[in-house]
Amino acid sequence: MAQARVRLPPAGPTAATAFLSGSNPRSAHISFSPRPTSVSLSAAAAANAPPPPIVVVGSANADIYVEVDRLPLVGETVAARAGHSLAGGKGANQAACGGRLALGPTYLVARVGDDANGRLLEGALEDAGGVRIDRVARAPGTPSGHAVVMLMPDGQNSIIIVGGANMEGWAAGVESEDLDLIRKAGVLLLQREIPDWVNMQAAQAAKSAGVPVIMDAGGMDAPIPGELFRLVDIFSPNETELARLTGMPTGTFEQISQAAGECHKMGVKEVLVKLGSQGSALFVEGEEPIRQPIIPATEVVDTTGAGDTFTSAFAVALVEGKPKKECMRFAAAAASLCVRVKGAIPSMPDRKSVIKLLESVQVE
């Protein structure tokens, strides 16, 4: 795949940086604007230029879906009701979501194999709309990453991932063009389906330019290196990942608060915990937690990608300089729409739909 250099406006203080420093005023209501329908060259349009880019460095997987009534027991074989392949992977999911929601550009930096699954992923990302994939590179001799998603009738799932190019395709490290792109971003999104050392290179580039770093905890089941953790501004686990990484129980909100406090001690200042049907909570060191209930879905079809949708939508609002509570509301609305559609990337909502949902519900 061609590796053209991306031309971006000069770097400078971003809305997201101001937001993290607490300098952004708090809004009393939802104030998201739809995507512009036309381009104007007037001075007014220039003054209202789109936010800086969202850059996602992460995985891209071919997801093999099998719809089952229940998970098999050890040594048991069960028949699936249906099976099909769709594009996914936490990095691709978050980039596709950002592409549909963000006012500015969203870029994915990833590695795929030079194979049928790699072409499936490239095509799906192009079709998703809004995400730039000129920094997605093919890794010769390495198969694309893939995952087996076991989907139950209630929409819940269990997933097994095979790293492939996501883990083995970074032999040359993060390319200089990718690092330049990260330094000019409004926010950097990371996950744990690529090597920690790749995440560390990307995070160091972001921190050197004052770009906020959000890391989703999903991916490999291993401790996060302290050096990487200290480069993260916002850490985003679900309650299971939070328990695994801290070694603490997370069965109650008080226990979740204590586990988030342990993350603060490890060097990250903000912990954004996804709580499934209980919504989400943001724990900022030294402040009271901010809780956000779910916005109920009319029907839960598939929860695959809901966490990625939430994290990406939060980042979109962050780059636009929204207050923290408003970021969480926007993310909750996006996740509510996501679970109503089967598949990860196919389920990512567009900006207009999220705003329409926010306008139709009263969120306390």
| Rounded Cα distance, 278 and 108, in Å | 30
In total, the chain counts a number of residues equal to 364
> Any idea what DSSP says for residue 277?
G
Q: Evaluate whether 100 touches 128 at the Cβ level (below 8 Å).
A: yes
**Backbone dihedral angles phi then psi of residue 264, each to the nearest 5 degrees:** -60, -40
Q: Is 180 a catalytic residue?
A: no
Of residues 234, 235, 318, 242, the one with CA closest to residue 275: 242
Q: Which residues contact 322 (CB under 8 A, 6 or more apart)?
A: 19, 24, 27, 31, 32, 330
Q: How far is the C-alpha of 19 from the C-alpha of 337, rounded, in Å? A: 26
Side chain identity, residue 74: V
Query: What token pair was written down for 270?
Result: 């903000």
Which one from 115, 216, 302, 308 is the annotated catalytic residue? 308
Largest CA distance in the chain: 68
Give the H/E segment covering residue 257: helix 253-266
| Cβ contact 121:87 at 8 Å | yes
Contact 315, 308 (CB under 8 A): no
Amino acid at 54: I
- Rounded to whole angstroms, the Cα distance separating 337 from 354 reads 7
User: 41: Cβ–Cβ under 8 A, 6 or more apart, which residues?
Assistant: none
As annotated, the active-site residues are: 308
